[in-house]
Amino acid sequence: MSKSKTNSEYKEPVTPQQTELEKALTEENEKLIAEAEQIRAENEKLHKTVKRLQSSADKSDSYLNQLVAMKNDFESYKRRMKFNSEQAKSEGAMAVIVKMIAVTDNFELAKQHLDGDNLKAFEMVYSQFLQILSECGVQEMDVLGKPFDPLKMNALSKIDRGEENRDMVVEVYKKGYMFGDKVLRYADVIVGA
């Protein structure tokens, strides 16, 4: 009976060239594995750096958005303050002017009781006073002979003065004054019936 040969018996003998080639391939393989590990480590570092930079960029964008919002809020605040300042100035002027208008009524009453040189001196002061009111933007309403306007006038009564004067202002009891488009004092009038 013949003996069968095992695998180890069929192996060809290893030559020195094959051993050197295996050694060189193994060394090259080990170098490649080491390089791959180094590249993987560098890749992880780069990935962490990218994440850190992205986080910093996101924070920068957030800060920039907050800064833009604060700038817009500040611009709105400045506009509001300017508007409020102008409005307060206008309201303050109107409060003083309304008090000055009451003085014009006293001027007109006093004027009725003066004559001669006293009247001339008085009229000079009175016209200067009216000039100052005009320079401040106050205008006397011209209502006599005009249609009655309830937005600018108070009707004290109605008097029959003929059909042509129906719903027209026939007498002015107290003058009305405007400041721009605002009524400072309504004119007290008598209307034709």
Residue pLDDT, tens place only, 134-153:
888 899 999 999 999 999 99
- Tally of residues, the chain: 193
Domain annotation covers residue 171:
yes
68-81 residue pLDDT tens: 999 999 999 999 99
Q: Which residues contact 141 (CB under 8 A, 6 or more apart)?
A: 152, 153, 175, 176, 177, 178, 187
Residue 149 lies in a domain: yes
Residue 65 burial (10 A CB sphere; 0-12, 13-18, 19+): exposed
pTM of the model: 0.54
Per the domain annotation, does 76 fall within a domain? no
Domain count, the chain: 1
Question: Domain range spanning residue 182?
Answer: 139-193
Q: Tell me whether residue 88 is in a domain.
A: no
Q: What is the DSSP-derived secondary structure letter of residue 157?
A: E
Task: Judge whether 10 lies within some domain.
Answer: no
